[in-house]
Amino acid sequence: MADVLILHPGEMGSSIGQALVYKGHRPLWISEGRSESTRSRARKSSMYSHETLEAGLADVEIVISVCPPEYAIDVADQVLELGFDGLYCDANAIAPTTARVIAEKFGDSYVDGGIIGPPLYRHGTTRLYVSGNSATRMVKLFAGSALDTRLVEGDSVAASALKMCYAAYTKGTSAMLLAIRSLAQAHGISSALRSEWELSQPRLWDRSEGSGPGTTRKAWRFAPEMREISKTFEDAGLPAGFHEAAADVYERMAFLKDSEPVSTHKITKILRKD
């Protein structure tokens, strides 16, 4: 079984590592420079560790990059600089043009990936979409695991394009909802909006109530993802403002990274900087 290096195991990455452990693989992580929470998560997932990236790369055929989108190119460069010549899968939420920069570095060893769904606590919740000439190797790697891995038809960065389109709606509308709740509060009409939504937009108030707590601790990483999405729209000649605004919303919440989940009511005040 191929050994796999995951850079770097956050919640999603460590759950993917766990899925590989169950399949009999020996996923690795690199401990050097990682936070205590990353170390703790990686240990719990039964992944193996190497201290340095150099030692880790010497031991594996496949690298999967799962990191905040703004680090995707840096992580790729670090791997390349150490002479790695195995398969490199970038599974981050990045614009197709960003993915293409990485794809060009790795050539046919590049697999473009996009993850849709939550960390893998059980089968069936989460898909890894892959594209590019070597994408079937990733499908084989995860075959029978909890991570439903699917080829996307299209060009070599089609998986990133799909991820951008998908997150554009889910995370984009969550940010919009929070901004609307904040606007309603600014005008003192929250209860009228709630009544109207309950009449004509079933479940929307409840969804907005969930958006605050649900994004509190993720907003810091949603913000750069929204920037990648706005770049994707702009690159295609489409309006970029939806996701520039969404990035702005999440940036205003980014300081809540280590907070307990915060109610939408409180988030609406934070967004207006009351």
Using rule CB under 8 A, residue 146 touches a copy of itself: no
Using rule CB under 8 A, residue 127 touches a copy of itself: yes
Binding a copy of itself (rule: CB under 8 A), the pick from 249, 253, 256, 270 is 249
Burial 184-221 (b: 16+ CB within 10 A, else e): bbeeeebeebbeebeeeeeebbebbbebbeebbbbbbb
Binding a copy of itself (rule: CB under 8 A), the pick from 32, 196, 198, 206 is 196
Closest CA to 174 of 245, 104, 78: 245
Binding pattern to a copy of itself, positions 205-234, x when CB under 8 A? ---------------------------xx-
For a copy of itself, the binding residues in 83-102 under the rule CB under 8 A are 96
Identity of the residue, 154 or 213, whose beta carbon is nearer to a copy of itself in the bound complex: 154
Using rule CB under 8 A, residue 128 touches a copy of itself: no
* Residue 154 DSSP code: S
**Residue 49, SS3?**
strand
Using rule CB under 8 A, residue 180 touches a copy of itself: yes
Please state, in angstroms and as integers, the Cα–Cα distance from residue 20 to each residue in 2, 64, 261, following that order: 10, 12, 30
Closest CA to 243 of 167, 178, 184, 180: 167
Binding a copy of itself (rule: CB under 8 A), the pick from 17, 56, 113, 172 is 172
Neighbours of 140 (CB within 10 A): 10
Q: Tell how far CA 37 is from the center of its chain.
A: 18
Binding a copy of itself (rule: CB under 8 A), the pick from 38, 92, 156, 182 is 182
Q: Where are the alpha helices (DSSP H) in 108-203?
A: 135-142, 158-186, 190-200
For a copy of itself, the binding residues in 63-82 under the rule CB under 8 A are none
Identity of the residue, 182 or 215, whose beta carbon is nearer to a copy of itself in the bound complex: 182
Binding a copy of itself (rule: CB under 8 A), the pick from 36, 153, 258, 260 is 153
Task: Give the residues across from 151 on adjacent strands.
Answer: 130
- Binning the chain into helix, strand and coil, the percentages to the nearest 5 are 55, 10, 30
Q: Which residues bind to a copy of itself, rule: CB under 8 A? A: 96, 116-117, 127, 129, 152-155, 158, 161-162, 164-166, 168-170, 172-173, 176-177, 179-180, 182-184, 186-189, 191-193, 196-197, 199-201, 204, 232-233, 236-242, 244-246, 248-249, 271-273
